[in-house]
């Protein structure tokens, strides 16, 4: 069987390609070039940078597999960067990795694989796919290594995308993947991994938005929950829910960002205790084990990637909106509009949606 492997230039995708080759697959490596010329300045050593391309090409040469570099910069700008900026302008905090997976890594990559006569694609994500008991659905499960599980970023994948995907590292740990790369003498074996957004390498997303001319400073009021003006801000895009530092306010007790009011260009602040919530709505839900969800589902809900998860009851709405109400059994801090909330039952990803205001 022919498989196209998404090669990011890191140890995980390198080991995934090596494993598939060892298992007898006909492997082709592809790197999606996501940034235009200024990539060198923005993300030289990240998954879209020139060093990553050179590493992916070197690994493919070492494994003696065909390798292609595909320019998807225009689509990345449209599907990921523009979304990233639009979410911040709307007072939400985006998750570009989920969108990149859905639209490009498991969208564009699948179409490219078809052009090359491949039946499947593979990536270096730590997650698992397997058929349901009756064979009617493709299930998504956590990776075996709880420290590296990446199923959260994959919750929005459709059935057709999951059915065409292999995760060779799903049963392995990070140390396993490095050992595989060492055994194959791959140059990426000891390469340091990047944990930040690939196109914001210095973690300063506000500077990125301004430098890319996607957001301009525009002053507005910082107010308390009663609407009293406490100060001024340079744009709601530069704040996120739960933020305490950088507010430029004097107060007898610490103040935190509670809400970003895009309609009125206001940053609403208040006491830390006001950050706790136990109910919210999620939009654009994707359900994985079933086409139509039951009336009520008991799950473990992750409200952000590094959140440990908390028991919750999810009630899908029946109005055709594709939304659901989430009731947390224990209130959680800083539930952030724009972030993904992903639902689990043990290792099974039930689905998820985008936290609404």
pLDDT confidence band for 98 (50 / 70 / 90): very high
pLDDT at 248 over 80: yes
d(CA 171, CA 256): 41
Mean pLDDT, rounded, of the chain: 93
What is the bridge-based pairing of β-strands 138-142 and 127-131?
antiparallel
Alpha carbon distance 194, 233 (integer Å): 31
pLDDT tens column, 294-348: 999 999 999 999 999 999 999 999 999 999 999 999 999 999 999 999 999 999 9
Note whether 18 and 75 are same-domain residues. yes
Taking the C-alpha atoms of residue 150 and residue 272, their distance in angstroms, rounded to an integer, is: 30
pLDDT tens-digit map of 110-125 = 999 999 999 999 999 9
Burial class, 307, CB count within 10 angstroms (exposed 0-12 / middle 13-18 / buried 19+): middle
Distance CA 349, CA 351 (A): 5
Angstrom distance (rounded) from CA 154 to CA 298: 20
H helices present in the chain, as ranges: 11-22, 39-43, 50-63, 73-76, 82-89, 96-100, 109-115, 159-163, 174-183, 205-211
Residue after which a domain boundary falls, among 134, 165, 183: 183
% pLDDT > 90, the chain: 85
334 falls within a domain: yes
Catalytic residue check, 184:
no
Q: Are residues 80 and 128 in the same domain?
A: yes
Neighbour-count burial of 190, counting CB atoms closer than 10 A to its CB (0-12 exposed, 13-18 middle, 19+ buried): exposed
Q: Please state the rounded mean pLDDT for residues 237-249.
A: 94
Cα–Cα distance list, 288 to 82, 158, 162 (Å): 27, 8, 9
Give the number of domains in the chain: 3
User: Which pLDDT tens digit goes with each residue over 127-168?
Assistant: 999 999 999 999 999 999 999 999 999 999 999 999 999 999
In a domain, residue 48? The reply is yes
Q: Domain range holding 261?
A: 221-270
What is the reported pLDDT for 39?
47
- Asked if 173 and 40 touch (Cβ cutoff 8 Å), the reply is no
Residues 53 and 166 occupy one common structural domain: yes
Q: In which band, very low, low, confident or very high, does the pLDDT at 40 lie, cut at 50, 70 and 90? A: very low
> Catalytic one among 39, 48, 100, 341?
100
Q: Is residue 172 domain-shared with residue 236, that is, in the same domain?
A: no
124 and 253 fall within a common domain: no
259 and 304 assigned to the same domain: no
Pick the more confident residue, 51 or 17: 17
pLDDT for 196 beyond 90: no
Residue 34 belongs to domain with CATH number: 3.40.50.620
Answer yes or no: do 260 and 297 share one domain.
no
First vs last C-alpha separation in the chain: 46
Could you tell me how far CA 262 lies from the centroid of its own chain?
24
Tokens linked to 226 = 């009663």
CATH number at residue 240: 2.30.30
> How many C-beta atoms surround the C-beta of residue 345 within 10 A?
12
Does residue 37 form part of some domain?
yes
283 in a structural domain: yes
Q: For tokens 């698992």, what's the residue?
A: 128
Question: What is the 3-state composition of the chain as percent helix, strand, coil, each rounded to the nearest 5?
Answer: 30, 30, 45
Label residue 346 left, alpha or beta by phi (over 0 means left) and psi (-120 to 50 means alpha). Answer: left
CA distance 222 to 17: 51
Q: Where does the pLDDT of residue 48 fall: very low under 50, low under 70, confident under 90, or very high at 90 and above?
A: low
For the chain, give the number of residues. Answer: 357
């Amino acid at each position: 069987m022919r498989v196209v492997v998404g090669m990011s230039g890191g140890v995980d995708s390198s080991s995934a390609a090596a494993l598939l080759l060892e298992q007898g697959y006909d492997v082709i490596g592809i790197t999606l070039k996501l940034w235009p010329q200024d990539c060198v300045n923005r993300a030289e050593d990240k998954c879209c940078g020139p060093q990553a391309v050179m590493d992916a090409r070197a690994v493919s040469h070492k494994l003696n597999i065909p390798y292609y570099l595909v320019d998807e910069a225009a689509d990345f700008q449209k599907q990921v960067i523009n979304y990233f900026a639009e979410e911040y302008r709307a007072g939400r905090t985006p998750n570009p990795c989920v969108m990149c997976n859905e639209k490009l890594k498991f969208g564009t990559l699948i179409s490219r694989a078809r052009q090359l006569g491949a039946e499947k694609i593979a990536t270096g994500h730590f997650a698992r796919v397997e058929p349901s008991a009756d064979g009617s659905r493709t299930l998504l499960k956590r990776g075996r290594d709880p420290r590296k599980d990446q199923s959260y970023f994959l919750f929005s994948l459709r059935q057709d995308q999951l059915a065409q995907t292999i995760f060779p590292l799903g049963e392995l740990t990070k140390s396993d993947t490095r050992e595989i790369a060492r055994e194959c003498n791959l140059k990426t074996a000891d390469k340091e991994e990047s944990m930040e957004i690939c196109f914001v390498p210095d973690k300063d997303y506000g500077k990125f938005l301004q430098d890319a001319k996607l957001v301009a400073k525009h002053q507005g009021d910082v107010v308390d929950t009663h609407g009293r003006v406490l100060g001024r801000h340079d744009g709601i895009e530069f704040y996120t829910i739960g933020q305490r530092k950088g507010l430029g306010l004097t107060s007898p007790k610490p103040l935190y960002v509670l809400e970003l009011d895009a309609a009125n260009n206001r940053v609403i602040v208040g006491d830390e205790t006001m950050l706790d919530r136990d109910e919210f709505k999620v939009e654009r839900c994707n359900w994985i084990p079933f086409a139509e969800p039951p009336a009520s589902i008991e799950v473990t809900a992750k409200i952000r990637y590094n959140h440990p998860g908390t028991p919750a009851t999810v009630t899908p709405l029946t109005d055709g909106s594709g939304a659901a109400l989430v009731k947390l059994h224990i209130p959680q801090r800083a539930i952030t509009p724009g972030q993904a909330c992903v639902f689990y039952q043990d290792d099974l990803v039930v689905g998820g949606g985008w936290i609404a205001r």
